[in-house]
């Protein structure tokens, strides 16, 4: 046999061996949630924990499990790796069908080959469809009965934001703008590049998200790190591990907040008007470190990566150290569990499910390096007076079967025009819709209430035109 043939076989054997010999966690996963998570001493080993949930997909007639009093249905099926969602003011739903771009430098060496095998086993590393599709529910029954290719020939697109008649799309290497007309099912006009974003042949964390401020004058863009803990060199982290602010009128950019390893979801908290984000934290120091987190994003703040985690807990793997920067590191507001891969975020502001008002809905993509598995569900974090107030609640679970296989993996979350919750499932290739059991839809539009003191941070209003009830 050739060496080219033997390498995948050897790699697969190593993956299975590592999976089999991983030591289990000594702490319940609940200990790594909340404002004061348990942070044990870091553990290093020659081989980090590997515990892949092989991607299987949903057998016919099966679906995830909603919380009591709720129901779930397939809003859309047979998509190609749907990752992110955006609801337009008229109720149309945009979905980014996307995967990682070619990253030749990220797969170099033995470690890189193994990581490729791990991601493939977890259901990633497909050729990207590089498109945004539009889903429309024309009769209001909670199922999309129209699908069109809205934008195509993109480059691993992810985040989307509509400001006036301009749709911004965050490709993996550039922020793009496209003209948008209300009700359009396709954009054929050529887009224009607004600014370059860090990409290139390494591009470890490839997803870029974008959100507009309420006035529609500024955009906020997430850029993840190019490594786990800067093992590729700090020179590869220029312009990364941060949220960037872009002023639309002037075209100027600046770092808004830094030290965020891999921020993904962003939204404006409706009570405080503050920008919040979920962050996928570092790996390879044990089952029980480091918890992903949900945090408010303060202008000019530093959140620790790569030098420290969860505030000022120093990561000794980083050489040279930077004690002055660590002294500035801000502790995040709320931990979301070790290795849960918390990516999706939206605050619930609709009327349909009042038990979720003002709280955070979070899509947890699920672990590949923890034993037992963590994440693989959509959770709700209650808020009171603009801050997380209690432990999380499951909204949608059951993405893992009894054999430890991934039937689906939730990523982006959004709220549709009726107030139901939409969940992008990139392994099941579905969009799930969660709504109350047997309830009619509240016809009042979605309305984000912002305190007068923080009105400058109020999100762009999106008032849907709702004229019928969902069955």
pLDDT of residue 47: 80
Nearest one of 470, 435, 471, 423 to 79, comparing CA atoms: 423
The residue among 174 and 3 whose pLDDT is bigger is 174
Nearest one of 340, 408, 107 to 232, comparing CA atoms: 107
Please give the DSSP secondary-structure letter assigned to residue 302: B
Summarised one tens digit per residue, pLDDT across range 414-440 is 999 999 999 999 999 999 999 999 855
262 to each of 105, 332, 468, how far by Cα in Å?
19, 14, 40
The residue among 10 and 70 whose pLDDT is bigger is 70
Summarised one tens digit per residue, pLDDT across range 20-59 is 556 889 899 999 999 999 999 999 877 888 999 999 999 9
Alpha carbons 107 and 99: distance in angstroms, whole number: 16
Alpha carbons 23 and 371: distance in angstroms, whole number: 7
Summarised one tens digit per residue, pLDDT across range 333-357 is 999 999 999 999 999 999 999 999 9
Please state, as a whole number, how many other Cβ atoms lie within 10 Å of the Cβ of residue 444.
12
CA dihedral 302, 308, 314, 317 (to 10 degrees): -140
Contact criterion met (CB below 8 Å) for 302 and 323: no
DSSP assignment of 395-437, as one string? EEE--B-TTS-BS--EEEEEE-TTS-EEEEETTTTEEEEEEET
Order of strands, sheet of 342-347, starting from the edge strand that comes earlier in the sequence = 65-66, 393-397, 377-381, 360-364, 342-347
Query: Is pLDDT above 50 for 7?
Result: no
Write out the H or E segment, with its range, that includes residue 212.
Answer: strand 208-212
Query: Is pLDDT above 70 for 107?
Result: no
- Mean pLDDT computed over 125-149: 95
DSSP assignment of 28-72, as one string? -GGGGEESS---------SS-------B--PPTT--PEEPTTEEE
pLDDT of residue 114: 65
Summarised one tens digit per residue, pLDDT across range 212-270 is 999 999 999 999 999 999 999 999 999 999 999 999 999 999 999 999 999 999 999 99
Q: Where are the domains of the chain?
A: 8-18+29-457
As given in the structure block, the two tokens for residue 318 are 């980083």
Average pLDDT score, the chain: 89
Write out the H or E segment, with its range, that includes residue 21.
Answer: helix 3-21
CATH number of 8-18+29-457: 2.120.10.30
**Burial per residue of 301-326, b for 16 or more beta-carbon CB atoms within 10 angstroms, e otherwise:** bbbbbbbbbbeebbbebbeeeeeeeb
Query: Is pLDDT above 80 for 300?
Result: yes
Summarised one tens digit per residue, pLDDT across range 441-470 is 544 343 333 332 333 333 333 333 333 333
């Amino acid at each position: 046999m050739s060496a080219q043939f033997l390498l995948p076989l050897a790699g697969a054997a190593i993956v299975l061996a590592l999976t089999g010999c991983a030591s289990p966690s000594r702490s319940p996963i609940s200990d790594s949630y909340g404002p004061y998570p348990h942070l044990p001493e870091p553990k290093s080993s020659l081989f980090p924990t590997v515990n892949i949930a092989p991607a299987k997909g949903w057998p016919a007639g099966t679906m995830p499990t909603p919380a009591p009093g709720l129901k779930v249905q397939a809003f859309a099926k047979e998509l190609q790796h749907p990752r992110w969602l955006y609801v337009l003011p008229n109720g149309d739903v945009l979905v980014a069908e996307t995967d990682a771009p070619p990253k030749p430098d990220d797969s170099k060496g033995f470690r890189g080959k193994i990581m490729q095998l791990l991601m493939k086993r977890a259901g990633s590393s497909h050729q990207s469809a590089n498109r945004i599709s539009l889903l429309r529910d024309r009769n209001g029954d909670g199922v999309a009965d129209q699908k069109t290719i809205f934008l195509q020939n993109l480059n691993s697109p992810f985040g989307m934001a509509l400001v006036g008649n301009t749709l911004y799309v965050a490709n993996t290497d550039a922020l793009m703008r496209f003209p948008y007309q209300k009700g359009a099912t396709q954009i054929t006009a050529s887009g224009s590049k607004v600014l370059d974003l860090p990409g290139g042949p390494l591009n470890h964390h490839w997803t870029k998200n974008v959100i507009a401020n309420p006035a529609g004058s500024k955009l906020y863009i997430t850029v993840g790190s190019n490594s786990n803990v800067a093992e590729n060199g700090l020179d590869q982290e220029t312009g990364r591990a941060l949220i960037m602010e872009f002023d639309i009128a002037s075209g100027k950019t600046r770092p808004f907040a830094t030290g965020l390893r891999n921020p993904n979801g962003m939204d404006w908290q409706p009570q405080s008007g503050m920008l919040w984000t979920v962050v996928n934290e570092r790996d390879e120091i044990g089952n029980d470190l480091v918890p992903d987190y949900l945090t408010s994003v303060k202008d000019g703040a530093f959140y620790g990566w790569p030098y420290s985690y969860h505030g000022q807990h120093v990561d000794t793997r980083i050489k040279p150290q930077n004690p002055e920067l660590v002294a500035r590191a801000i502790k995040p507001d709320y931990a979301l569990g070790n290795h849960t891969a918390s990516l999706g975020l939206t605050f619930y502001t609709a009327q349909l499910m009042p038990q979720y008002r003002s709280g955070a809905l979070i899509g947890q993509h699920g672990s590949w390096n923890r034993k037992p598995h963590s994440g693989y569900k959509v959770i709700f974090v209650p808020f009171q007076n603009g801050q997380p107030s209690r432990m999380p609640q499951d909204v949608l679970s059951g993405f893992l079967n009894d054999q430890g296989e991934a039937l689906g993996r939730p990523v982006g979350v959004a709220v549709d025009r009726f107030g139901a919750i939409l969940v992008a499932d990139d392994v099941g290739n579905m969009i799930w819709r969660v709504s109350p059991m047997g309830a009619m839809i509240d016809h009042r539009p979605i309305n984000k209430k912002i305190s007068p003191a923080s009105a400058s941070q109020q999100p762009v209003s999106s008032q849907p035109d709702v004229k019928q009830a969902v069955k």
